[in-house]
Structure 1
Amino acid sequence: MSLADYPFSREAALRVAETGYSLEGLVVEPNPQPRLSRLVRRRALDRVLGSLRGEIPDSAAHPLAELLSYPLARVMVSCINDDLLIRRYALAEAKLASRKMVREELGDLLLLARDLSVDPRYDPNGLFVHFSDYLKAASGMRSPGWKLVNRSLEAGWVAVTDHELARLLEERAKERVQKGLPLKVPPEICEGLGPDLTQVKEELLSRRAKEKVDLGEVTEEAFPPCIRGFLGEVAAGTNLAHTARFALTTFLLAVGMKVDEVVAVFNTSPDFDEERTRYQVEHIAGRSGTAYKPPSCATMATYGNCPGEDRLCRWVNHPLSYYERKAKKRGSG
């Protein structure tokens, strides 16, 4: 097992410390080792841009450059300090590691598991994870197959396959990568990374523009003030309260948006998890047999989700009634 493949591990962090390299030495000119610095910066930028483009590519970089590029990538992400970037970077690093985990011998996978605070048991009967470790790692996975009630549990141990262990470790790796971000970075370091950060910011703006949801035939201008307010908060990267998120989801589904479109609406939320969000939206849409309806104006007010009435609000008692009236008026106009 190569430490460069799992740079978020505690052992990798110790190896980085042992090298004696500093951020200043890699970033601030004049640089005593310009060739290494270029390799590390190029790979660090590759990691961050890859996270925005969907996948950090595998690298044939020198193992030391690969190892040092991870902390530098975290510094780049911290200099920009954007919630969407931080979330996607952590996910992409975990996915990169996951691709390598599935190729590891079981013994090395067990070593990595222990580094990530999971202590599996392997004996002639198979591979097991203690239920407490299992729940911590699987808490964000909403597919029914990961629910503890659907697993084989004996004396507190959950049976898993090699690939399932790798998937659980991917979740732990994502938590490890995201922990502590953004870091406190000296201004001179961010200044030294200026050209690289400019590329990342441009890519981030491009991603946001491409992912802006087109509501298609849905008449967004007819949305009531509460729904417009929720959409504005989500677009600004704010986490909505549970009741507000439920109200927004049920409303968008009710006016004709597809599950995929509603899931995409939430992709700028700081806590966005596509698998979890899709599960929740599909559940609300009726996958379990019950399709939920948007709450009334009175319920919205009870939960503090009414931002205040406009003139049309006074004539309706439900957000859908508002939408129908305003959309009809716009169509006739």
Structure 2
Amino acid sequence: MRAFWYPFTHAAAKEIRLIDAPLEDVLSSRAFQPVRRRAVERVRGALHGEIPDADASDGVKQNVELLSYPLARLIVSCIDDDYLLRRYVLAEAKLAHRRLRSSDTEEVLEIARDLGMSPIYEGDNFRIHFTDFVISAARFRSQKWKLINRTIDHGYLKVTREELLRLMQERIRDRIQEGLPLDAGSICEGLSDHLRSIRDELASSKRSSMVDLGEFSRDALPPCMRSLLEQLAAGRNLAHTARFALTSFLLNINLGVEDIIGIFNNTPDFDEEMTRYQIEHIAGSTGTRYTPPSCSTMLTYGNCPGGDELCRRIKHPISYYRRRLRESRS
């Protein structure tokens, strides 16, 4: 296994322990400047949606890749921002997924085992135990990831190579998430210069991730819809009922299909074809245009984060929006 490509593995942790790299030197020594640079690059890449790959053509560069991972985790922990943490974890998992796609089958199986999975290679496909499938696919909303839509034989089901890699990405995401944020304590002082610049980029990223509603007013959004948009911006998957509520709401305040697809493209299980189909269906492609659920329904399905004073006087998110819009224009 190329441990430097997969620094979240147990094999990589062993290699990191073998490197003569006292933390004080990593934080301040000129010799470890490439490690600090790459760690910052990992965090900044996460803010912009993708961690760039790195040249690891020799042992020194491989050590940089190995050591930059725990240092990046320390940086994220020092900043201790939920938005950054979620984007970082997702970006590291996506980087690993890109690398897995170019790995041979033996390496894929070795990493899967490191993650606690036990896939069996069969020709062009794999067999995995249904428990591995259920655990890894828990966040997915597409019907193809529902166990009921799979054929199980003696506890195992078939998956393609790409499906296995996608399932592994979720396990990697959980592995990276473990322990974050770390208790960095005084270590943060040694990273203060880097933290300052990343905090500035973080603030900018948060502003740019806010959904552009064109002529519509964000201030007029009801708390429930504002909360769902914030969850999407943070890279979270929404439950089916929440996706329906948000999509139908946005369509009913005249956002277009393409705009709404763009809003959902930050979710971990984003599938443009499926997302387009669902949005067009809600928009009325089959003859029925759907309206958003009422406030009571939002509450029933756990999609109401708690209302404000106006919520107590209205019964529907659209009514809330229109009332706030009128008030802002008066």
TM-score by length of structure 1 reads: 0.79
CA distance in 1, matches of 2:91, 2:166: 14
* Structure 2 SS opposite 1:193: helix
- Equivalent runs, 1:295-310 vs 2, <5 Å: 295-296=293-294, 305-309=306-310
Contact 1:284–1:292, Cα closer than 8 Å, also in 2 = no
- Equivalent runs, 1:65-76 vs 2, <5 Å: 65-76=64-75
Q: CA offsets per residue over residues 39-82 of structure 1, 9 Å max, x none?
A: 11111111111111221111114111111111001001111111
Match of 2:199 in 1: 201
CA distance in 2, matches of 1:82, 1:263: 26
Q: Does 1:215 align with 2:213?
A: yes
Pair 72,15 (structure 1): closer, same or farther in 2 beyond 3 Å? same
Shift of 1:150: 3.1
Contact 1:113–1:120, Cα closer than 8 Å, also in 2 = yes
CA distance in 1, matches of 2:217, 2:252: 13
* Structure 1 SS opposite 2:157: strand
- Equivalent runs, 1:216-231 vs 2, <5 Å: 216-220=214-218, 222-223=220-221, 227-228=222-223, 231=226
Q: Does 1:119 align with 2:118?
A: yes
Contact 1:218–1:256, Cα closer than 8 Å, also in 2 = no
Shift of 1:221: 5.4
CA distance in 2, matches of 1:191, 1:84: 22
Match of 2:131 in 1: 132
Contact 1:44–1:73, Cα closer than 8 Å, also in 2 = yes
- Equivalent runs, 1:166-181 vs 2, <5 Å: 166-181=165-180
Query: Counterpart of 2:270 in structure 1: which amino acid?
Result: E
Shift of 1:234: 5.8
Pair 203,323 (structure 1): closer, same or farther in 2 beyond 3 Å? closer
Query: Counterpart of 1:171 in structure 2: which amino acid?
Result: E
Shift of 1:235: 4.7
CA distance in 1, matches of 2:103, 2:237: 40
Contact 1:128–1:157, Cα closer than 8 Å, also in 2 = yes
Deviates more, 1:249-258 or 1:236-245: 236-245
CA distance in 2, matches of 1:140, 1:234: 18
Pair 233,194 (structure 1): closer, same or farther in 2 beyond 3 Å? farther
CA distance in 1, matches of 2:298, 2:138: 29
Shift of 1:152: 3.6
Deviates more, 1:232-241 or 1:200-209: 232-241
Pair 301,171 (structure 1): closer, same or farther in 2 beyond 3 Å? closer
Contact 2:228–2:242, Cα closer than 8 Å, also in 1 = no
CA distance in 2, matches of 1:300, 1:263: 22
Contact 1:137–1:171, Cα closer than 8 Å, also in 2 = yes
Shift of 1:85: 1.1
Contact 1:120–1:130, Cα closer than 8 Å, also in 2 = yes
Match of 1:293 in 2: 291
Shift of 1:192: 0.9
Q: Does 1:254 align with 2:255?
A: no
Contact 1:142–1:276, Cα closer than 8 Å, also in 2 = no
CA distance in 2, matches of 1:80, 1:6: 24
Shift of 1:19: 2.2
Query: Counterpart of 1:55 in structure 2: which amino acid?
Result: E
* Structure 2 SS opposite 1:60: coil
Match of 2:270 in 1: 275
Pair 220,194 (structure 1): closer, same or farther in 2 beyond 3 Å? closer
CA distance in 2, matches of 1:220, 1:21: 49
* Structure 2 SS opposite 1:153: coil
Contact 2:129–2:155, Cα closer than 8 Å, also in 1 = yes
Match of 1:51 in 2: 46
Match of 2:81 in 1: 82
Any gaps of 5 or more consecutive residues in structure 2? none
Aligned length: 317
Query: Counterpart of 1:197 in structure 2: which amino acid?
Result: L
Pair 185,282 (structure 1): closer, same or farther in 2 beyond 3 Å? farther
CA distance in 2, matches of 1:172, 1:240: 16
Query: Counterpart of 2:12 in structure 1: which amino acid?
Result: A
